[in-house]
Chains A and B, each alone.
Chain A
């Protein structure tokens, strides 16, 4: 039946192509073949089916939303709990901290029993301190100048990197966005390749270059590679390419120079992206550990993040307070640029 119908339509098509006029035989459609009663039954049946389908889709949506909510809630709890415990435990005394978490260090190498101790007694996670004390903060702020110096080391390293990278990346991104020639595209592609490379791959070349430049074991060994990082250039380039060309041409017609176009048009329109990048870069470099460990062998120049990653049994008494204080600058930065961060990231991919 279907083959006949197919052949019939094929013949009609070839006749029409040859402009051969034939008598059109009307073929009744599926609905026309049905009488009124059959149609009503058909519509009633279809209505029920569609209702079932809608209800099933509604339930599926609710289940998927609930499941997603639970996953998000669990992830949020997992992310918040360490921060919460850090803050709570910063009000414990050194003795209480050693009593609760000393077993962690006893399980590390260098201790006699090591893993056996850890397995025998897991650390005690205590919500409420036995005695609320500011002993950790007092030790940290009044009796540990080294901590303060390391704090300033972090600031000294991170602020130039963020500022310098913003300047360099804005200029580079404008160039890549404004002048799209073949060589520049190749260079931009190489930036993407570099960005995709793992950080550890570029660490050794960085070390060698720093050694060649004679800046090894100086802060410049950290700052200079940070300033010329690729991620900000890539992101800002993609962002600046969204700027309508009509704006630039209009300013050119008004007699604006290239610098004026950059400073008056491009940078203000990329403000959100710049702030978002600044926050992300600050948090990223505030937590850097590997670069200082490799490129800054002088302990006195290492940032606070290195200390926090190397907390051992001797320092555990002040570790929580140090972590709590260390959280403050990124938190303030985030609170300051929260809106820019959300907007900048969300609009980066909009064409």
Chain B
């Protein structure tokens, strides 16, 4: 275990949960990120916004190791991840969960079996019956009815599939949760319910959430801070009020456009 000592669980680590420095990503001639810096603080819900093609998903994929950047430094829980082989990062990867856009559930497994996959993979010694119990309560914890557990993904609605995706992302009790456009394709009621679930889970489980979204309502409703991606980097991070004080045309248009105003008004009338 000497190797993994360096990336052990450190409950007293108080620095940024995710820290990205000088990130550069490119596909052929097209540069997606150039000198991108971003910190995600412990316990916050950080919303990541940006126009289409500004590389929000690429940023997430870089952090979780699905995309190798050209340059830069990525630290999660204070541990640098770039340049490390997969087995070395396993202790870190146990501590995050990812919800992909379409849910990315394994179609040949039931919802409960989907939740059991990461547990079996990372904790193969866990008692089988206990693992099944864990899968069951995780399914219910994600706001799914218990009868959804033995169903296959194809039998679920879009919103339920996202919840099942959350259940699988939470399988290992991660401290950090990545959500890629969780409310895309959901009706407003489903989207609001999902926002509530995210907030509730974040508060109960003490999660840090990295949330990519286009949904202005989500930003207003649950995000503690918002990072804006434009011009190949993060041009601003802060609360929505702080961002509004900035004089950047894209930010102004985004939050002060007709939709942005509507979402903001909706928040005020609720709160």
* B is a partner of A: no
Q: Which residues of B contact A (CB under 8 A)?
A: none
Q: Which residues of A contact B (CB under 8 A)?
A: none
